[in-house]
């Protein structure tokens, strides 16, 4: 009898099972030279290095931008403003006008000097492109009385935290300039592969301390398990946004340092107010009420999540706690029935963070109990942004932070009618926000933002269930790495040895 070969399918089956049980990472090679590349795997992919365009609000763009471009001023580890391009600055009495004196030794990486003309052009470009970050400078005018002086003016209070979000590029940039951008920050771009990797090398013409590390590499690894394996094998040196379930496996490793920090991030799930289904605040509140967020947070994020009582976090100016939404599925169902909600429709919630897959599955489960179908759809960062900007979603999932530690940068930027981030428009809220933006008196501003925050919360423009702490883990041999509450650690001081 002819001998039968082993069926090919059997080989395939075994291979697939084995492949499922292993993680495709390459082992670190023992190189004789000392390690001189710091590799980070951040949570958010970098699509573009244009700090003024459609990506300007995303951490994937702002984080590398902080390494590549200069800003007038920048926050230090304690949130205090330190000089960057501006050597000194002084406000007028009411805080509605600031004069910045630029340093004269700053040059772009191509050798041309950085002057007030570039600062003006950058601000004008940011406002003109109307990207998400442009709201930080709504109503702000800029003047350049001489080559090294810039004056910012506004009707209301100018917030230095927002000023620190202006990245200075060359004056004549176009979208094409950002494949190999020219900046005056501590690093220059060696290579950008969108959504894959970004390689930075020290900028030898930088006016500050030139980084000692040979190369900084941003590598985007979407799978958390792969990211953590890469960290343990030494393929990457730092990552953050680690789910609580996985932290235990890392703390036993002496080669790694693990630390948790409070962030300003709040889990934000906006309803698409352009959809007829979400026109009614009763419907939005009912959906929120139908989900047992307290239990979900306690089981899935016991360490890194806390129930939130506002759309901004308590460490942000203008915060005020609102009344918690009580979990009551029966009342939610009744409210939906009363407002004629169509139970036959499927609501799609779009997200990009893999660590929230279980969170969203639990939400879908709770909503299914009252007959509402929620379908979580995970999207790749670029597609997510495109769909988000095109309002091609029912509910949208994000973690929104407040980099300037002031409600003006969150509530004030995202919720006016003109911002049109989620389709919600309320003249009362608009009036409050305009009032707050035009006021220099801090206590009055705090009151106004608290009032505005109450509308955002009570009207359920979105659901804001959770405050986020984030877990960082990094190579214990690296010096100078400091976890950052805004998920954007400064990599310029990092070095080995």
Partner 1 sequence: MRFPGNTGKAVQRGTPRTATRVFKKWTVAVPGMIVAIYLLVALFGPVIAPYDPVATNLTDRLLCPGCETSSGSIAWLGTDATGRDMFGQIVAGTRTSVLIGSLTVSLCALVGLIIGLPAGYFGGLADLALSRVIDILIAFPSIVLAIVVAGLFPRGLGVVVVALSLSGWVSFARLSRSATMSTKEREWVAAARVMGVPARSVLVRHVLPFLAGPMVALIALEFGLIILGEAGLSFLGIGLPASTVSWGQSIASGKEYLATAWWISAFPGIALALLVIMVGLLGDQLNSRYQRGGSR
- Is-contact 22 226, C-beta < 8 A? no
* Shortest Cβ 18–partner 1 spacing (Å): 9
Q: How far is the CB of 444 from partner 1 (least distance, A)?
A: 44
Closer residue to partner 1 (CB): 56 or 350? 350
> Residue 20 CB, nearest distance to partner 1 (Å)?
5
Chain residues that interact with partner 1, rule: CB under 8 A:
1-2, 4, 7-10, 12-14, 16-17, 20-21, 23, 223-225, 228, 243, 245-246, 248-249, 295-296, 299-300, 357-358, 361-362, 364-365, 368, 375-376, 378
Least separation in angstroms between CB 149 and partner 1: 53
Q: Whose Cβ is closer to partner 1: residue 148's or residue 220's?
A: 220
Q: Of 364 and 446, which has the nearer Cβ to partner 1?
A: 364
To which H or E segment does residue 107 belong? none
- Cα(26)–Cα(427) distance, rounded to whole angstroms? 56
**Residue 73 CB coordination number (10 Å):** 21
The secondary structure of 256-311 as a DSSP string is EEEEEEEEEEEEEEEE-TTSGGGS-HHHHHHHHHTS-HHHHHHHH-TTTEEE-SSS
Those residues whose C-beta lies under 8 Å from the C-beta of residue 407, and which sit 6 or more positions away, are 312, 316, 317, 318, 319, 436, 449, 452, 453
Q: What is the Cα–Cα distance from 408 to 425, expressed in whole angstroms?
A: 17
Q: What does the DSSP 8-state code read for residue 383?
A: H
Q: How far is the CB of 280 from partner 1 (least distance, A)?
A: 25
Closer by beta carbon to partner 1, 249 or else 431? 249
Distance, in Å, from the CA atom of 464 to the CA atom of 234, rounded to the nearest integer, reads: 36
Q: Which is nearer to partner 1, 339 or 358 (CB)?
A: 358
Evaluated on CA atoms 441, 444, 449, 455, the torsion sign reads negative
Distance CA 469, CA 466 (A): 10
Select 250 or 463, whichever has its Cβ closest to partner 1: 250
- Residue 367 or residue 407: which is nearer to partner 1 going by CB? 367
Q: How far is the CB of 374 from partner 1 (least distance, A)?
A: 9
Of 132 and 465, which CB lies nearer to partner 1 in the complex structure? Answer: 465
CB of 277 to partner 1, least distance (A): 19
Least CB distance from residue 10 to partner 1, whole Å? 5
Q: Which is nearer to partner 1, 2 or 31 (CB)?
A: 2
Among 203, 176, 175, smallest CA distance to 189 is for 203
Q: Where are the alpha helices (DSSP H) in 290-426?
A: 293-300, 329-338, 357-369, 381-389, 407-414
Give the SS3 label for residue 216: strand
- Comparing CB distances to partner 1, the nearer of 351 and 481 is 351
- Cα separation of the two ends of the chain: 68
Q: How far is the CB of 329 from partner 1 (least distance, A)?
A: 13
Residue 5 CB neighbours (<10 A): 7
- Whether 256 and 476 have beta carbons less than 8 Å apart is answered as yes
- Kindly state the smallest distance separating residue 228's Cβ from partner 1, in Å: 8
């Amino acid at each position: 009898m002819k001998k039968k070969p082993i069926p090919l399918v059997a080989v395939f089956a075994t291979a697939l099972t084995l492949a499922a049980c292993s993680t495709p990472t390459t082992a670190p090679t023992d190189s004789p030279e000392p390690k001189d590349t710091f590799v980070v795997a951040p949570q958010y992919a970098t699509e573009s290095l244009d700090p003024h365009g459609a990506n300007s609000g995303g951490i994937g763009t702002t984080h590398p931008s902080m390494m590549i471009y200069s800003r007038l001023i920048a926050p230090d580890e304690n949130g205090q403003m330190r000089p960057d391009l501006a050597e000194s600055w002084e406000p007028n009495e009411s805080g509605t006008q600031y004069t910045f004196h630029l340093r004269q030794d700053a040059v772009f990486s191509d050798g041309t000097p950085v002057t007030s003309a570039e600062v003006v052009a950058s601000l004008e470009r940011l406002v003109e492109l109307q990207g998400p970050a442009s709201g930080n400078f709504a109503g702000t005018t800029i003047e350049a009385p001489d080559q090294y002086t810039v004056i910012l003016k506004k009707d209301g209070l100018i917030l230095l935290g927002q000023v620190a979000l202006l990245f200075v590029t060359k004056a004549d940039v176009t979208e094409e300039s950002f494949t190999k951008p020219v900046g005056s920050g501590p690093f220059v771009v060696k290579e950008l592969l969108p959504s894959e990797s970004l390689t930075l090398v020290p900028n030898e013409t930088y006016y500050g301390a030139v980084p000692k590390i040979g190369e900084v590499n941003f590598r985007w690894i979407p799978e958390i398990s792969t990211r953590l394996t890469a960290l343990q094998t030494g393929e990457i040196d730092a990552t953050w946004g680690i789910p609580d379930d996985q932290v235990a496996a890392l703390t036993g490793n002496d080669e790694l340092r693990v630390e948790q920090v409070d962030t300003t991030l709040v889990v934000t799930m906006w309803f698409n107010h352009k959809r007829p289904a979400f026109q009614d605040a009763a419907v939005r509140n009912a959906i929120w009420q139908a989900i047992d967020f307290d239990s979900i947070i306690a089981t899935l994020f016991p360490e890194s999540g806390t129930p939130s009582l506002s759309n901004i976090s308590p460490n942000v100016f203008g915060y005020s706690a609102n009344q918690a939404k009580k979990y009551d599925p029966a009342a939610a169902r009744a409210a939906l029935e009363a407002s004629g909600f169509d139970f036959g429709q499927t609501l799609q919630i779009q997200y990009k963070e893999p660590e929230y897959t279980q969170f969203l599955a639990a939400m879908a489960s709770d909503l299914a109990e009252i007959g509402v179908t929620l379908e979580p759809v995970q999207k790749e960062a670029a597609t997510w942004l495109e769909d988000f900007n095109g309002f091609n979603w029912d509910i949208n999932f994000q973690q929104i932070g407040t980099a300037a530690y002031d409600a003006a940068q969150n509530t004030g930027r995202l919720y006016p009618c003109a911002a049109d981030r989620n389709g919600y428009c309320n003249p009362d809220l608009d009036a409050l926000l305009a009032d707050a933006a035009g006021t220099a008196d801090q206590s009055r501003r705090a009151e106004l933002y608290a009032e505005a925050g109450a509308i955002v919360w009570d009207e359920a423009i979105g659901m804001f269930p959770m405050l986020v702490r984030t877990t960082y883990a990094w190579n214990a041999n690296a010096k100078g790495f400091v976890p950052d509450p805004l998920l954007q650690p400064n990599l310029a001081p990092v070095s080995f040895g």
